[in-house]
């Protein structure tokens, strides 16, 4: 008999203000894009993290697609990105006709190995897309130095990296999403701060700011019209409908107001897992998340890396028998059905290792200590039996 799941992998957390703000948005009579709560969200991110310009989008996928349009990606342009990432990172550029050049992950971290990138750069390389996996920063100093040397753009895929920070070699601390030319965030229901579906494009290079507004508004200069800068608006560029309803922004703003509380709770849960896994890691049964000196931890997820696919599957099945949902994550994109015949044939052993052996544990605000203790006990019991 199958045990019903009593501890889900994810459970969206509601602060209590979401429906109140949604009601306010509806009552305002302005529920399409760029209403009062959209502006509040933009202001929050720009003031809290110092982002130059923020534009809410319907998803992180849309934010990445906007970035690809803004970079004027053309057929044959090359983009370097990790193989170990969600397909949206790749699709945004494939849709513009770009060639994907996949980078391997680092040995100690699922982020792409920045020091392997030099050998992937050609005269056609236009952009590098670092993915800050689990909210842990890539080596952005090394990446930006490389990008500046070759005149390459950098778009940060910060889908998992809300409230994550990078300590630069000069000692300054910068929020992830503020370092590359642009960055994309996600507010999907599995993220720390969420609105069910949703995303945001951050513009750090001012030369992209005006056009970003136009692309987001279906290729029109309607935003400038609503600000009174022009007396009529029209179709001036390519674009699409990337802006979300103000109802979603109202939901998101309730989450943003509680950012510190949400983050503190998630960090407590993360730290409990990490302390509880130490003995297992010391025995060589699993590898735990590695956080470089330059990175902070926003507690987006807690994962362990097993020694083999068999052990990974064994852990998932043992947890499932206790009604606990744990899941693996990405499959290496260079081996995907869609792109494997287009890949250049390089083996990406670290990416494949994470694809085969990484397992994510339940992680959400309302996860209790007792539930975490059961999860840890179940994992230890499994490893004692193998």
pLDDT in tens, 101-152: 999 999 999 999 999 999 999 999 999 999 999 999 999 999 999 999 999 9
Best CA proximity match to 83, nearest among 65, 61, 64, 106:
106
Q: Rounded to an integer, what distance in angstroms lies between the CA atom of residue 309 and that of residue 355?
A: 9
pLDDT of residue 5: 60
pLDDT of residue 224: 84
pLDDT of residue 3: 45
Q: Rounded to an integer, what distance in angstroms lies between the CA atom of residue 138 and that of residue 116?
A: 13
Straight-line distance from the first to the last Cα atom of the chain, in angstroms, rounded to the nearest whole number: 24
Strand, coil or helix: 257: coil
Numbered ranges of CATH 3.40.640.10 in the chain: 18-256
pLDDT of residue 232: 85
This prediction has a pTM of 0.96
pLDDT of residue 247: 97
CATH of domain 18-256: 3.40.640.10
Q: Which helix (H) or strand (E) is 56 found in, with range?
A: strand 53-57
- Give CA angle at 309 (304, 310), nearest 5°: 110
Q: Beta strands 53-57 and 199-203: pairing type?
A: antiparallel
Q: Which residues of 198-237 are buried (b: 16+ CB within 10 A; e: fewer)?
A: bbbbbbbeeebeebbbbbbbebbbbbbeeeeeeeebeeee
Numbered ranges of CATH 3.90.1150.10 in the chain: 259-384
The domain defined by 259-384 carries CATH number 3.90.1150.10: yes
Half-sphere exposure of residue 226: CA atoms within 13 angstroms, side-chain side: 10
CA-CA-CA-CA torsion for 188, 191, 194, 199, nearest 10 degrees?
-50
Please list the ranges in the chain whose pLDDT falls under 70.
Answer: 1-5
């Amino acid at each position: 008999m199958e045990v019903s799941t009593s501890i889900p992998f994810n459970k969206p957390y509601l602060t209590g203000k979401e429906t109140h703000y949604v009601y306010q948005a509806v009552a305002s009579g302005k529920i399409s894009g760029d209403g009062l709560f959209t502006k509040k969200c933009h202001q929050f991110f720009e003031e809290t993290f110092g982002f130059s310009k923020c534009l809410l989008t319907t998803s992180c996928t849309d934010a990445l697609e906007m970035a690809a349009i803004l970079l004027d990606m053309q057929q044959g342009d090359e983009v370097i990105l990790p193989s170990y990432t969600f397909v949206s990172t790749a699709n945004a550029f494939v849709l513009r006709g770009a060639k994907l050049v996949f980078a391997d992950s680092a040995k100690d971290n699922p982020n792409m190995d920045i020091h392997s990138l030099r050998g992937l750069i050609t005269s056609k390389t236009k952009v590098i897309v670092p993915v800050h996996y689990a909210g842990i920063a890539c080596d952005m100093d090394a990446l930006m130095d490389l990008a500046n040397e070759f005149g390459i753009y950098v778009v940060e895929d910060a889908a998992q990296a809300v409230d994550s920070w990078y300590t630069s070699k000069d000692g300054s601390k910068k929020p992830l999403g503020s370092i590359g030319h642009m960055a994309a965030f996600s507010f999907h229901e599995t993220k720390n701060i969420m609105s069910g579906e949703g995303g945001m494009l951050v513009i750090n290079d001012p030369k992209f700011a005006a056009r970003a507004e136009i692309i987001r508004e279906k290729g029109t200069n309607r935003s400038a019209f609503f600000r009174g800068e022009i007396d009529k608006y029209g179709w001036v560029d390519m674009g699409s409908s990337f802006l979300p309803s103000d109802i979603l922004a109202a939901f998101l703003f309730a989450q943003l107001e509680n950012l510190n509380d949400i983050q503190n709770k998630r960090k407590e849960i993360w730290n409990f897992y990490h302390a509880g896994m130490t003995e297992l890691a010391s025995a060589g049964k699993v590898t735990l998340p590695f956080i470089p000196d330059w990175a902070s931890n926003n507690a987006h997820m807690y994962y362990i890396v097993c020694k083999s696919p068999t052990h990974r599957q064994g852990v998932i099945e043992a947890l499932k028998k206790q009604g606990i949902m744990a899941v693996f994550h990405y499959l290496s994109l260079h081996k995907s059905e869609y792109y494997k015949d287009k890949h250049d044939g390089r083996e990406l052993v670290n990416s494949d290792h994470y694809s085969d052996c990484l397992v994510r544990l339940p992680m959400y605000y309302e996860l209790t200590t007792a539930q975490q203790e059961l999860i840890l006990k179940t994992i230890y019991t499994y490893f004692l039996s193998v």
